[in-house]
Structure 1
Amino acid sequence: MSDARPNVLLLLTDQERHDLVDPDGLPVETDAIDGLADAGVRFSHAFTPISICSSARASLLSGLYPHNHGVLNNVHEPDAVRANLAETTPTFGPALRDAGYRNAYVGKWHVGRTETPEDFGFDYVGGSDDHHDAHLASGLAGYQRDHGVDPEEIEPRDPVYAEFDDSRDLLGGTLPIPPAATRSAFNAELTITRLEHLATVDEPFFHRLDFQGPHHPYLVPEPYASMYDPDDLAPWPSDAETFDGKPQVQANYREYRGVEALSREEWDRLRALYMGFMHHIDDQIARVLAALDDLGVAENTLVVHASDHGDFTGGHRQWNKGPMMYDDTYRIPLVVSGPGVEGEGRVCDDLVSLLDLMPTFLEAADAPVPDDIDAQSLWPALRDADKAAGREAVFGEYHGDEMGLYSQRMVRTERYKYVFNAPDIDELYDLDADPGELQNLVDHPDYRDVRTRLRERLADWMRETGDPIAQFTTRHLTG
């Protein structure tokens, strides 16, 4: 008798804003992801526990908050607090493998400086990012040569740069190669080839495809680079950011990122490229989903689309990410479709976290879920439209990226957000009245009770989850 447990396909993007695939968000064509949402459930209030690649990816693997798994910032930088996720940390890859799943991994890793997906229960197929994962073989150069492209000769057209005193960083531009020769297409091709093999075995499979986009630099081939006219883009509410009443680091980060001098035209071009990049990735997702159909395994495959975190792309006049806990970077897309998921085109407004995928995958595989994780399975909400995921709030944290440590903690309910900033003023936002998070209400007398309630909830979470700075922070939050 064949194994009736579902296959699982995780389609993870890198730095994708939630509103790229939100029907009420940016006007990007994402037909493949929209099709998944039409056949399953879209979580409208999904969040990452941290807006840093390595840390968020370690949380996805482990179901733990960063302060519990220890990967606090990006592992490839020399100031990494921890260069590798401890092999003793329980993660879902070995658990799925022990439960009889055939695991495969394509694309970006970025969880360990020297460890690879092989160390965490996956057969690594290829497609890594040489910048973040130089220890993993990619094969992209040979693939591009097979498509008539010399990888050594690729120079972006009409580039946009961040400017510094003695250097500049590439932010985006038109990639002068065919779409079929991009890294995104390469990773999709590797996935399709692997799925062709996995479809022939009796055991269920888990396949993870990690795209490197739409993370900057936004290097986008035609026709995608010109699909969205910068002149047609409407301003975003957060473009009106003044930094009044905000922590000083927010204004400082514009200089640190080298984007203070960018013109409105340059910002709009970057936004158009970002949107085109996502459109291109969606077309690669469509290829993978078509392969599932052609191979006859789509009906028994749970498909999940999510991202590690979001991207500012000019929101709040910022670039990339950093010590700012706005929804631009902490709110993420999350779509789940497949066997066991009730409803078609259902929107679930429950507050959920990226780390909740870990127990969700294990439960789908009938594998034991560790008792001491911070996550909770999404299956109650997936199986029954009348059941909530069980959270009244989600929490986030930040510890710094490439320039030292900077402690932040966040509690986010459906209506309010409170941010604790260790070295500066805290933040409070009423998201119903101010969805752009422009007005910091932390000292507003009308919000005194809200502030007190959220501070206590944040302090309780820090104590309950063993946050190492709780002993110092909670005196501030509850004093």
Structure 2
Amino acid sequence: MRDSNEGDRESHTSVRNVVLVVFDTARAKSVGPETTPALSSLAAEGTTFENAFATAPWTLPSHASMFTGRYPSEHGAHGGHTYLEEDQRTLAEAFADAGYDTVGVSNNTWITEEFGFDRGFDELRKGWQYIQSDADMGAVVRGEDVREKLQATRDRLFEGNPLVNAANILYSEVFQPAGDDGAARSVDWIGDWLGDRDDDDPFFLFCNLIEPHVEYDPPREYAEQFLPEDASYEEATAIRQDPRAYDCEDYELTEREFSLLRGLYRAELAYTDDQLARLREALEAAGEWEETLFVVCGDHGEQVGEHGFFGHQYNLYDHLINVPLVFHGGPFTGGGHRRELVQLLDLPATLLDSLGIDDPELLEQGHGRSLHPATHERRDAIFAEYAAPQPSIDRLEARFDEVPDRVRAFDRRLRTIRTHEEKYVRGDDGFERYHVLEGDPNEETDLADDDPDRVRELRERLEEQFDSLEDAGASGEVEMQAGTKDRLADLGYL
């Protein structure tokens, strides 16, 4: 992937470390100077990709694509197979084998060793725990009242080390800062880790910050910046936030309630952005900033009432797959705004190319293209897929008894091809829709019946892209720990 102008490339490649920060659930349309000034500052100094897309609309398959350079059909980690298999080469493994210290901090339960994401990391921390433990006391944190909290404490306290469990409960119930879901604590830990390092090895640092994810519960001072003038913090935070229950018509939300939820969501982005600024300060204080390639992206987006949905399941609208992507440092310094179509699965190729690391196994298994400014290969389309419902329709039936027909219809695989001008989505049940984006950026007008010839062309290209990909087995779902199930349920996945 290298071009002939190697001298120019080397003159701009002065970084030795990589930091990859994921704003969980950040959609591209909701970031900017008002909500994310620190990220906007990074973009002004570095390079921002205005048309970056995830390969999937939720955490597990999207992160797996970021780590492997592969589509969900290839890496197999999705709603029907919730584990990243060991035969998938990962970005952390490539950096570890190249002599890097590799550290991860995850605040999302999916991105842990339980689901195969620890390979290659010297340490992959669970950001929601004060003391690292295999036992998750999240059920106590999520108790609705004192009775539920006491019951969860009785049920879980003696799983593993009771003293450690008690310390985690005490922290979450008494000492954890209001409105923080782990971001501040994660940045604190990273700052300490940077200060305590006593070797000269370069490092690869991964950090998932989950605050923009349901439930939206930002600190009051952030919420009040983004709520309508006639709304109170108490009114907004009292709104029920249960995406699967909303989708299944267990309760309703008014447009006003959605407007308040959007305000809380933007406040969460702003709070996370402030933690991003603190992370930059920690790198500067450690003397590592100038030698670090710093990358920030969303892993997927969010629907907050758009198209009648709440959360990030069952669809491939741009609200769910168009994400922010910003590079700062090294060859991306002063790169400005780039409008070409890019994908998060381009990250492995880009990071290895930018650091001069040769890892044929990782590069050859995937479909990534380096975004290094000296590389001139461009995409004319991106692809994404929703491989299986999460949670499954069976799980929804077990919880709600009755599942609306409109949700039952989403018991299917969806795939999409998107160009700058058009978007085509097809389901394995024959469903299809087609949009001309210039006049329909929110994908509200289906023109599939109006231009059958163009629809056929896009369908054939979509089939050509994915026909060669083997379906992942549907029987590999991981048997989760009870605490993990509770935490995922709280995030709206189960």
Band the TM-score falls in, shorter-chain normalisation: 0.7 to 0.9
- Tell me if 1:449 matches 2:453: yes
CA deviation vs aligned residue, 1:297-316 (integer Å, no higher than 9, x gap):
11110000011100001222
Please name the residue that 1:163 is paired with. none
In the alignment, structure 1 residue 402 sits paired with structure 2 residue 391: yes
Contact 1:126 1:190 in 2 (8 A): no
The root-mean-square deviation of aligned C-alpha atoms, in Å, is: 3.3
CA contact (8 A) 2:417 2:424 kept: yes
3-state DSSP of counterpart to 1:38: helix
Distance 1:219 1:464, change over 3 A: same
**Alpha-carbon deviation of 1:369?**
3.5
Question: C-alpha separation between the residues in 1 aligned to 2:380 and 2:116?
Answer: 36
Identify the residue that residue 50 of structure 1 maps to in structure 2. Answer: 56
Cα drift, residue 193 of structure 1: 1.5
- What amino acid does structure 1 have at the position aligned with 2:369? S
1-structure distance, mates of 2:171, 2:101: 35
- TM-superposed CA distance for 1:317, in Å, is 2.5
Q: Is contact 1:84–1:113 with CA below 8 Å preserved after alignment?
A: no
Residues 116, 421 of structure 1: alpha-carbon distance in 2 compared, 3 angstrom cutoff: closer
How has the CA–CA distance of structure 1 residues 13 and 369 changed in structure 2, closer, same or farther, with 3 Å as cutoff? farther
- TM-superposed CA distance for 1:125, in Å, is 3.6
Contact 2:76 2:471 in 1 (8 A): no
Q: In structure 2, what is the equivalent of residue 416 of structure 1? A: 422
Matched residue type, 1:45: N
**Aligned position for 2:173:** 152
Matched, 1:317 2:308: yes
Per the TM alignment, residue 84 of structure 1 is displaced from its structure 2 partner at its CA by 2.1
Q: Deviations over 1:328-382 (max 9, x none)?
A: 00111100110122534x1111111111112222223313143532332333xx3
Cα distance change of structure 1 residues 218 and 395 upon mapping to structure 2, 3 Å threshold: same
The answer to whether residue 463 in structure 2 is matched with residue 459 in structure 1 is yes
1:197 aligns with 2:186: no
The 3 A distance-change label for structure 1 pair 202 and 415 is same
Distance 1:369 1:41, change over 3 A: farther
Over 3 Å counting, the alpha-carbon distance change for 1:377 and 1:127 in structure 2 is same
1:374 aligns with 2:366: yes
Q: Do the aligned residues in 2 keep the contact of 1:195 with 1:292 (CA within 8 Å)?
A: yes
Bigger proportion of residues as helix:
2
Q: TM-score, normalised by structure 1?
A: 0.76
Contact 2:302–2:312 under 8 Å retained in 1 = yes
Please state how far the C-alpha of 1:255 moved relative to its aligned partner. 5.1
Number of equivalenced pairs: 404
What CA deviation, in whole Å up to 9, does each residue of 1:56-108 have, x standing for no partner?
111111111111111122xxxxxxx3242111211111111110111111123
Contact 1:91 1:120 in 2 (8 A): yes
Does the CA contact (< 8 Å) of 2:17 and 2:291 recur in 1?
yes
User: 1:230: which partner in 2?
Assistant: 228
- Which residue pairs with 1:169 in the alignment? none
SS in 1 for 2:301: coil
Partner of 2:381: 393
CA distance in 2, matches of 1:190, 1:255: 36
Deviation for aligned residue 1:429: 0.6
Contact persistence 1:306–1:334 (CA under 8 A): yes
SS for the counterpart of 1:306 is strand
What is the alpha-carbon distance in structure 2 between the residues aligned to residue 98 and residue 396 of structure 1?
30
1:392-421 CA deviation, whole Å, 9 max, x = no partner?
110011121112452111000011000002
Give the unaligned 5+ runs of structure 1.
Answer: 74-80, 155-175, 234-251, 470-479
Distance 1:303 1:276 in 2: 23
Structure 1: how far apart are the matches of 2:91 and 2:112?
16
1:362 aligns to 2:366 (yes or no): no
Pair 46,374 (structure 1): closer, same or farther in 2 beyond 3 Å = same
- 1:274-328 Cα shifts (integer Å, max 9, x gaps): 0001100000000010111122111110000011100001222210022221100
The one-letter code of the counterpart of 1:396 is: A
Offset at residue 120 of structure 1 (A)? 3.4
What is the TM-score with the length of structure 2 in the denominator?
Answer: 0.74
User: Any idea what the Cα deviations from partners look like across 1:249-282, whole Å, max 9, x if unmatched?
Assistant: xxx9885354762112211111110000110000
| 3-state secondary structure, aligned to 2:119 | helix
**Greater percentage in strand:** 1
Asked if the contact 1:253–1:318 (Cα under 8 Å) also holds between the matched residues in 2, the reply is no
CA contact 1:359–1:369 (8 Å) conserved in 2: no
The aligned counterpart of 1:20 is: 30
Equivalent residue letter for 2:22: L
1:19-73 alpha-carbon deviations (Å, 9 max, x no partner): 12246xxxx3311101110111111111111112111111111111111111122
Contact 1:107 1:129 in 2 (8 A): no
**1:261 is the counterpart of 2:287:** no
1:33 aligns with 2:54: no
In structure 2, distance between residues paired with 1:465 and 1:256: 31
Distance 1:287 1:5, change over 3 A: closer
* 1:48 alignment partner AA: A
1:431 aligns with 2:430: no
Aligned pairs for 1:292-331 within 5 A: 292-331=283-322
Unaligned runs of 5+ in 2: 1-12, 142-162, 232-242, 394-410, 474-494
- The corresponding residue for 1:245 is none
State the identity as a percent: 27
SS in 2 for 1:420: strand
